[in-house]
Structure 1
Amino acid sequence: MNKGVVFIIAAAVLWGTTGTAQFFAPEGASPMTVGAFRLLVGGTGLLLFAVSSGCFKGGAPWNKFYVLIGALAVAAYQVTFFTGVKLTGVAVGTIVAIGSAPVSAGLLGYFILHEKIMMRWYISSALAILGCTLLALSGGEDIQISIPGIICAFGAGFSYALYALLTKMLMRDHNGTAAVGLIFFFGAVLLSPVLLVSEASWIMSWQGAAVAVHLGLITTTVSYFFFAKGLRTVSVSSTATLSLAEPLTATILGIFIVGERINFMVGIGIICLFMGIAILIMKSRA
């Protein structure tokens, strides 16, 4: 099996612990401030690790435009995702954001990096998106549609695909950890004003600090170190589809740790996600 596939899945599994960690956040911790602290701690950790391990040594001059757009995409993801979920509901917002990411990544990879899109990718992406849809709709909550919310959710999926693409492009001349470290650190700087205008006193509690450290160091610093290593040998389109191991992990943790109930739709959704990811794994082995 391609080691890059293993690294991408490992990163996605760590991302999948985000929701469970937020479940244990203190009362009053808003999604926006949680996201801002996650980027601040994680982005700083990635940059410090890259500097201390010599990842910035050598290489061509940095393309400042790529770094800036990548940072904007990272910051935009936090804003558009949480806004989309707020406006159009958790179910629809999650479906559109997570489900549109592989499509955006496939198109960007095809037109900009000239990556070939194989039939296996279409099948695996369709299965994974179907799985996400079933998981999101399984709660039985009232579905609400908001056009601005839908647009924001699409923006979140595109933002994810865009910073994955720009990271891939920077890795042509630079170390992957250094590229991710720069993009996420400056993304955190761009999003930091959120902490100045929002209630963020929850971070001063032990529980709040523990959640911020986990989200920052584990689900960002460590996970994006894995992500950078995997992205070196995995196409942008396949990376986005493999990353759908994130909602799969989140669902499993929700069942066994948070105590959420599993129903028929959840079961079928999990199976579809497994099948979609397995198809890409078999492709990489071939």
Structure 2
Amino acid sequence: MPSPKMLGKVICGVFLLVTLAEATQVRMAAEAFPEAKQGNAFFAAPQLPAAQSYFPRAIVPATPSWTQPRRESPSVGLLVALLYVMGAFSRTGATTTTAATTINTACTYTEWGACSNTCQGERTRSRVCSGVTVTEKESCNTQLGFLDDGWYRASNCYDYSVGVEDVAFATAQTRCEAAGAKLATVGMRNITVRREIMAGLNTLNVSPDWILFGISRASSSAPYDWLDGVTEDATFTTDSTFWFFNEPNTYNCVVMYLGNPGSGHDTSCNQPENYLCERAA
């Protein structure tokens, strides 16, 4: 279908064609009757018989009154207008054909491949159009927050769950392992992720709000060790983003208030508390 722009050109061309045709006929009539160009009225005389046409082609006088031969060929302007209209239709057809060819180009797709990761992964597929193959990519397994099984998935691609029974540190390890997890370590070492975890889990209104996680030390003079094998140096005890004011003291296990990611307190490893489990997504 012609575009509005092309349609406008066609209409203008037709109008110009009609106007030039009428002007040509008037000019030819004037040349046929030069004596009529007197006064303000273009055709004041002679009066034509009612049965005859207005235009000179229909007039056959007995004695021709013109002194110059009539020019029967179309004017240059008439030919230009005709070519303009033909060109507009030609361009409109070409545009329509090109657009249809583009829209109707068929592409084939392969199935999406497996996700590259169980959390924040990527998958690919191939798209073939007109013999050209393009690889497409999209993210997959992007869900964060609470999962269907009640665990909370954080942006570090670990899942977290709070054990709401009060147990000692060793028992807490056993309970997490039974759930296919461990006492939380990775997420609790990073202040940004720790804030994220606690903000999410705090909506559960766990009571009491102190939780054990995967860090302890052998004695009050020994460094703190995480259960995944990471050992902290002496500067850890002065980390104000981790410890509460005047902490730690002489106890060997650590609890943190669920609603405050910088509230680390040392505590006895035999003190029953809630606990935080962590599993890889």
For normalisation by structure 1, the TM-score amounts to 0.19
Relative contact order, higher structure (CA 8 A, sep 6+): 1
For normalisation by structure 2, the TM-score amounts to 0.19
Structure with max Cα Rg: 2
Larger strand proportion of the pair: 2
